[in-house]
Structures are given as structure tokens and as C-alpha cells.
Amino acid sequence: MNALTVVEYVRENGSNPYRAWFDRLHAQAAAKVAIAVTRLELGNTSRVKAIGIVGEYRIDWGPGYRIYLGRDGEALIILLAAARSSVSRPTSNGESPMGRIQGTEGGCG
């Protein structure tokens, strides 16, 4: 395994959907997600499943966390993350959390 550069997606307005989500996690969940990111940095992509051009890293703990990734050369870009239940159901206004990445909200359900 070759080490990878892992960076967080930052919108033009400076907001960071992943960081906003991560900062709201409880300590145990944040630790699980941080370990997953470290594994990615070490080049371990065995838990990443391709969904079109986006990769999904599954963390099978608690509600089931997901990290969504893009790739730019050898770098992985964390686009957003969510608990599985928040990805699979629409929000109260009927909008999908995945669709909010372009919006002004936190983008990570």
C-alpha cells in the first residue's frame, strides 16, 4: 500500500461540509471516523466502494457512517460524510442530503 494524500473538500465560500459534520460527532463516532481517514492516508482503500465517480467508505459501527470521496490524481478528497440513516432518507423539505453539497447548509445530513 502506498500512502495517499487525503484532503477535505472546501467550497468556494470557505465552508467545509465534512468538517462541519465531523465537529458535531460524539467522541466515539469521531474516533471511528478519524481511524478510517488514517487508514485512507496509509493507502488502505479496501473498504471503499465505487459509486460512479464517487467512492463510499463504509464504517459499520453505530448507525453506519459513510465517507464520500473523490479522487484527484493520487489525492483523495473527502467530499462529505453522514450517518447511513441520514443518507438514505430525505430531509423534512424532501431534499436529499447528497443534494445539499451544493447548497448553503452543512451538506452532511
The pLDDT tens digits of the residues spanning 26-67 come to: 999 999 999 999 999 999 999 999 999 999 999 998 888 999
% helix, strand, coil for the chain, step of 5: 30, 30, 40
Q: Are 68 and 50 spatial neighbours (Cβ–Cβ below 8 Å)? A: no
Helices (H), 5-56: 17-22, 27-41
Per-residue confidence (pLDDT) for residue 56, from 0 to 100:
96
- For residue 76, what is the domain's CATH number? 3.30.2310.20
The total of structural domains in the chain comes to 1
Q: pTM here?
A: 0.73
Per-residue confidence (pLDDT) for residue 85, from 0 to 100:
65
Q: How confident is the model at residue 74 (pLDDT cuts 50, 70, 90)?
A: confident
Per-residue confidence (pLDDT) for residue 62, from 0 to 100:
84
Examine residue 109 and state whether it is found in any structural domain, yes or no: no
Examine residue 67 and state whether it is found in any structural domain, yes or no: yes
Q: Are 102 and 12 spatial neighbours (Cβ–Cβ below 8 Å)? A: no
The boundaries of the domain holding residue 63 are 5-102
Examine residue 66 and state whether it is found in any structural domain, yes or no: yes
Per-residue confidence (pLDDT) for residue 107, from 0 to 100:
37
Sign of CA dihedral 85, 89, 93, 98: positive
